[in-house]
Amino acid sequence: MTDNTRTVLVSGASSGIGYAIAQSLLDAGHHVIGIARDFSKIKPTPLASNFYHYCIDLEQLDELPNAFKPIQKAHPDIDTIICCAGRGHFASLEEFSYQHIRSLMDLNFLSQAYLTKTFLPTLKQRKQADIIFIGSEAALTGTRKGSIYCASKFALRGFAQALREECSRSGLRISIINPGMVNTDFFEKLDFRHGDDEKHYIRAEDVANTVNMIINAHPGTNFDEINLSPLQKVIQFSTEK
């Protein structure tokens, strides 16, 4: 451990980008508190002794304030939050049920706002702290069949921009990373995915490396927004719609 050791809260830490970020931070010697709905897939191989996990369903917004209290009590030294939780749902707007619209916005945006609000007062009091949102290229341009997903990511991006202004007089830095198509299980239940060549996708580890770059930067440097793209954008469809 070094004087630069962080205590990092990572939402969506059980799989995909969140898991890669958590593992990278642990490898660097940081303490990591993971939030996810289910950690059963990684229980046979625990990440590390300095990893603490909490099973929380972030879609249950009304329960979140109480669900976060044990984390605040057990880990008062949290100085970094990485908001990774989210999922994809792509369809024409008329194909969405009202419940699907609500659940996607709740998870992809509102749960991140709740998490941030909970820990923001403490983070603003620290000499140095970070909040990093994992956004999406869908936060940059609206796309066909992406109306609700894009809306959730546009909301997260706008939230990060406004929060950055609110916190500019403190030592709290606010960043957002907008990856393109990442090679994770995000696409398992979707009817499209990236191409198979390594030039067609981003690795989750590349996003994790970007997170490490942000938190290791000079305290006076804020990475407002970082966009990551595959070298070649290739989309494969399993069915035509």
Tens of each residue's pLDDT in the chain, 241 residues? 346 899 999 999 988 899 999 999 999 999 999 999 988 877 545 567 889 999 999 999 999 999 999 999 999 999 999 999 888 777 778 888 999 999 999 999 999 999 999 999 999 999 999 999 999 988 888 888 888 989 999 999 999 999 999 998 899 999 999 998 777 665 566 554 555 667 766 888 999 999 999 999 999 999 999 999 887 776 767 754 4
Distances (CA, A) of 217 to 76, 130, 169: 23, 11, 18
Residue 182: DSSP 8-state? B
In a domain, 2, yes or no: no
In a domain, 113, yes or no: yes
In a domain, 42, yes or no: yes
In a domain, 72, yes or no: yes
Q: Which of 106, 34, 33, 98 has the alpha carbon at shortest distance from 64? A: 106
CA dihedral sign, ordered 229, 134, 125, 168: positive
In a domain, 214, yes or no: yes
Number of Cβ within 10 Å of residue 115's Cβ equals: 22
Q: Which amino acid does the sequence have at 123? A: L
**What is the rounded CA–CA span in Å between residue 241 and residue 232?**
23
Domain, as residue range, for 35: 7-237
CA dihedral sign, ordered 179, 116, 56, 99: negative
In a domain, 1, yes or no: no
> How many folded domains does the chain comprise?
1
- Strands of 31-36's sheet, edge to edge? 51-55, 31-36, 7-11, 80-83, 129-134, 172-179, 225-228
Q: Which H or E run contains 134?
A: strand 129-134
Residue 43's domain is classified under what CATH number? 3.40.50.720
In a domain, 11, yes or no: yes
Distances (CA, A) of 148 to 138, 156, 179: 10, 12, 18
Q: What does pTM read for this prediction? A: 0.89
In a domain, 149, yes or no: yes
Distances (CA, A) of 96 to 120, 142, 145, 168, 238: 33, 17, 10, 38, 20
